[in-house]
Chains A and B, each alone.
Chain A
Amino acid sequence: DAGVIQSPRHEVTEMGQEVTLRCKPISGHNSLFWYRQTMMRGLELLIYFNNNVPIDDSGMPEDRFSAKMPNASFSTLKIQPSEPRDSAVYFCASSPDQGAEAFFGQGTRLTVV
């Protein structure tokens, strides 16, 4: 299996632009997580899905952030409009079962200038 695949690996955008991050989880995994990593705040859980349904989005910082999972093999995290303080590494992870560990993608480094 190729593991969790995220795209793009790096994204540089101007403030005010829309940014879409993409994730393909491992086939057969039921849960999908979006995390944001910064030096100041560490790894923050933004949202997670179980069987394509959003379960907890309390970590989504503002209405500018939205996430979708239209099917079991694809999820997106959108920021509109983007701001410099959104600059971070965004990780997608998937998990097969209750209590199983999360398998992480390689992350997307987002820089908003």
Chain B
Amino acid sequence: AQTVTQSQPEMSVQEAETVTLSCTYDTSENNYYLFWYKQPPSRQMILVIRQEAYKQQNATENRFSVNFQKAAKSFSLKISDSQLGDTAMYFCAFTPMNRDDKIIFGKGTRLHILP
């Protein structure tokens, strides 16, 4: 069975600091995609960043970057220069490249950015 594990239920950091959210996953697939989603208090699910497993280069999107370690099945999210607006629930997600399967989410990490 494919699983996604986020080991940090909740985190708090000061504004402008850098924070890293952890995610590990389990799969026998070789080709797949990984995502980080953000869910602010508005409840809307927003895609933050996406990584294709066949790409060795870590994805980057402005202040958001990932550390993708395929052998270790690890996919952490780094937020640099954190801002108050980054306060949200963050979900790690996985989907195999074959679409006849599901997008599986971790249980989320609640991140608080403190002023």
Chain A residues proximal to chain B, CB less than 8 Å: 30-31, 33, 35, 41-43, 45, 48, 50, 55-56, 89, 91, 93, 95, 97-99, 101-104, 106-107, 109
Contacts A102-B93, A107-B44 known; 6 new A-B pairs at CB < 8 A? A43-B91, A56-B102, A89-B43, A91-B45, A93-B45, A93-B103
* Cα distance A91–B103 in the bound complex, in angstroms: 13
Closest chain-B Cβ to A112's Cβ sits at a distance in Å of 19
Can you list 10 residue pairs at the A/B interface with Cβ under 8 Å?
A: A30-B99, A42-B91, A42-B105, A42-B106, A55-B100, A56-B101, A56-B102, A98-B99, A101-B33, A101-B50
Interface of A is mostly: strand
Chain B residues proximal to chain A, CB less than 8 Å: 32-33, 35, 43-45, 47, 50, 52, 91, 93, 95, 97-108
* Cα distance A92–B107 in the bound complex, in angstroms: 18
**Nearest B-chain residue to A56, judged by Cβ:** B102
Given A50-B99, A99-B52, A99-B95, do A104 and B104 touch, yes or no (CB 8 Å)? no
